[in-house]
Chains A and B, each alone.
Chain A
Amino acid sequence: MKFIALVLKSAKRSKRRTLLTVMSVAIAVFLFASLRAVLDGFNAATEASSSTRIVTLRSTSLFFSMPTSHAEVIRSTSGVQDLTWANWFGGVYKDPQNFFAQFAIEPESYLRMYPEIELPPEARKAFLDDRTACIVGDGLAKRFGFKVGDKIALQVGIPIYGTRDFDFNVRGIYKSGGAAVDNQSMFFHWKYADERSIQPGQVGWFIAQISNPDQATQVAMAIDQKFANSPNETKTDTEKQFQATFVSMFGNLNLLLGSIALAVVITTLFVAGNTMAMSVRERTTEIAVMRTLGYPSATIFLLVAGEGLMMSIVGGILGVGFARWIVNPDTLQVGAFIPVFGVTNMNVISGLALSALIGVLAGVIPATAASRLKIVDALRRVA
């Protein structure tokens, strides 16, 4: 501890160099924390998905629908407690650029099965009572300035819903009570879309509430068996698996973002290691004098390594600070792609751990070199 003053003194020796090093670590940690936040954002829905909800799709792919008559069959499967369904609407709000998810849902059962959709009781009632009502997430409401009482017109995106625009009344703005439902979506009555469909009575996917999460696989298999060899075969999976499919659509994000993060760390190691080596070289004579005065080589090692660690951690704190400040849904509009987004405490901790790691790795070679200096040679040398 008593050497802290000495470490600070040597860091201040070349203020510009210390500043540049601290800033380059800060940038690396900023990038690292942001990349982690993006990746976590993508995976959040999968992580938070319920283990008691299972999703039934057409086995061909999610672009195919099945008749509402499936509902009774699924409901009668043992282990199934509750059932709801939804369709993807794919409408366009003014411009295709304004993409957001719209779901036609069976309203009562859906709200019952998704407590994550948090809606004030009067808004809930208003939504259920109005056939052309919709509810929007608070994030979406903020993005487009939707307010309760507004009318939203959506152009039809999927030809099955005809060519006429759909008008909706905003009856409520919901908050997301869990990452399984994001706050960037719009929900409305399935009946409203269905009555204008060219092919009525079709459902995109069914969601079943099961009593025992351990039985998810058995119940899923039992459901699929009931429709085997029918014209509308199904594939039932846990909600987690269903969500994971969407994440994997983007491609191998883990690999891509992981490699970039690795490159970031290596770059910073080069920069920080270089600086430390430079500052040690500059101080060769000084270190030799300290050794002559009797400082053991272990102390010299700690002094040099400590300086690297300190600069690195200061950079790390700056970096996560920046990331916290900039990478959040209020400053960056990425809602349509990454529903849950922001630098979490976990990201902060891993960013700081990374900065410490960079400090140790970058400091270790110069510190070893400094502690192994031959006093005689070093004293003789003119820097």
Chain B
Amino acid sequence: MGLIGSYNLRSMIVRKGTAAMTAGGIAMVVAVFVMTLAIAQGFRATLVASGSPANAIVLRKGSTAESTSGLLRTDVPLIEDLPQLARGADNRPLASPELVVAIALPRQTDNQPANVPVRGVGPKAFEVRDTMKFVEGRQFAQGSREINVGLLAVGRFKGLTLGSDVKFGNATWKVVGIFTADDAAFESEVWGDVDLMMPAFQRGGYQSMTVKLADPSMFESFRDTVDADPRLYLKPQREQDYYTQQSQAMTTIIRAFGAFVTLILSIGAMFGAMNTMYAAVAYRTREIGTLRALGFSRFRVVTAFLAESVALALVGGVIGCILAIPVHGLSTGTTNFTSFSEVAFKFRITPALMAGGLLFSAVMGAVGGLLPAIRAARIPVARALREI
């Protein structure tokens, strides 16, 4: 640092109006960058959180989502009998055959009907997904037309509060409990007894089966056993892999969109930084001449002005991150196009994302400051000193 560092820092303070405007421009870019990526991050985290390392999901061979999969009733006992499955206190296998359909419910925000996933689950479902916790009410009773609703779904759609009656599948269902699931996609779902949902939705079979393995390392042997059984036309996947894959397409689209917008916007902000730094160099021609006459090398002058530009941009980056923080935790929703139903998720700003935003601002500062800094170093000493 030394003299030259404090000189540049102090010049920045002298020109606080211009510096603030440049930093402001960069702050906006970083805020947009962090916010759009926070959407992608949140969506991905929600789906990934839905998978547990000890769980496996079984779908029909060739299908990539529960909505296009099908499982026969006779498949269920064949899988339940496999030795790799964990067992509950009653020595029954921890497996849940499930049916997922979507029902149309109006959104709270715009009253538009949205597709809310309804999941019929087996008796062991809450033991298979051990992150589920009830915040209100209780678990639905087997064999009754009761349902549980995820906390995010309650906030997002009309008529799902505790105690209300919901009409779907030619029957009326009572909400008896509201659950959370560590931010997983299940929080956007409605759960009920699969054996009642199947006739209600006129379906003759299940769509998927989720099982808890006695140990995560048993997945390979579980998969091989199912594969080898000629009676089963099914494909087990690690639950985590399945949900990661589900999030891929959407995450890629959001990221690509965010990158496109911020990249273009950052060019504009870089032009701003360049302008500011060129002006800074022009105003201080005489001072630069003096520095050079005192013996500071061209290289030192370049690095000093680069550092000034990067510091300016970093201030903008920090402001941008702070501007973005309030959206953290806000919940929003979009359609998961692999299941064609709505997933609610929360904006998620991680430390890594903020670090990315700061790095991005530093890059903008460096690129914007490079040409002006080189210009500063190239000024001939004698001419610079003569300048008014």
A positions within 8 Å CB-CB of B: 16-17, 20-21, 23-24, 27-28, 30-31, 35, 59-64, 90, 96, 157-159, 231, 233, 235, 244-245, 248-252, 256, 259-260, 263-264, 266-268, 270-271, 273-275, 277-278, 282, 382
Give the secondary structure class of A's interface. Answer: helix
Q: B32 and A263: CB pair below 8 A?
A: yes
Is residue B114 within 8 Å, beta carbon to beta carbon, of the partner chain?
A: yes
* Bound form: Cα–Cα A257–B242 in Å: 30
Q: How many A-B residue pairs have CB under 8 A?
A: 146
Q: Are A274 and B60 in contact (CB under 8 A)?
A: no
Q: Is the pair A274, B272 in contact by a Cβ cutoff of 8 Å? A: yes
Task: Indicate if the CB atoms of A270 and B25 lie closer than 8 Å.
Answer: yes
Which chain A residues lie closer than 8 Å to B342 at the CB level? 249
Interface residue stretch chosen among B77-85, B98-106, B123-131, B295-303: B98-106
CA distance A231 to B201 in the complex (A): 10
- Smallest beta-carbon distance B357→chain A, Å: 13
Contacts A/B (CB < 8 Å), 29 sampled? A20-B275, A24-B269, A27-B267, A30-B264, A60-B103, A63-B115, A158-B68, A159-B60, A159-B68, A248-B110, A248-B112, A249-B335, A251-B332, A251-B333, A252-B332, A256-B39, A259-B35, A260-B36, A263-B265, A264-B268, A266-B28, A267-B29, A267-B265, A267-B268, A271-B22, A271-B25, A271-B268, A275-B275, A278-B279
Once the chains are docked, how many angstroms separate the CA of A35 from the CA of B22? 24
On chain A, the residues within 8 Å of B109 by CB distance are 252
* Alpha-carbon gap, A24 to B201, bound state (A): 56
Inter-chain CA distance A202–B101, complex, in Å, is 17
Closest 3 CB pairs of A and B: A271-B272, A251-B334, A274-B21
Residues of B within 8 A of A (CB): 17-18, 21-22, 24-25, 28-29, 31-32, 35-36, 39, 60, 63-64, 67-70, 101-104, 107, 109-110, 112-115, 168-170, 201-202, 261, 264-265, 267-269, 271-272, 274-276, 278-279, 332-335, 340, 342, 388
List 7 additional contacts besides A158-B68, A249-B342, A270-B22; criterion CB under 8 Å.
A21-B271, A30-B264, A248-B114, A251-B333, A256-B39, A266-B24, A268-B268
Q: In whole angstroms, how far apart are the Cα atoms of A266 and B113 in the complex?
A: 35
Known: A61-B115, A245-B112, A248-B107. A27 touches B265 (CB 8 A): yes
Q: What is the CA–CA distance of A63 and B70 in the complex, to the nearest angstrom?
A: 15
B112 & A23 in contact (Cβ 8 Å cutoff): no
Write out the residue numbers on chain A whose beta carbons fall within 8 Å of the beta carbon of B28.
Answer: 263-264, 266-267, 270
Q: Is B275's CB under 8 angstroms from A21's CB?
A: yes
Residues of chain B lying within 8 A (CB to CB) of residue A266 = 24, 28
Rounded to whole angstroms, the CA-CA distance of A382 and B22 in the bound complex is: 25
**Whole-angstrom distance between the alpha carbons of A348 and B297 in the complex?**
50
Q: Are A61 and B271 CB-contacts (below 8 A) given A96-B64, A159-B70, A249-B335?
A: no
**Closest B residue by C-beta to A230:** B170
> In the complex, are the beta carbons of B24 and A231 less than 8 A apart?
no
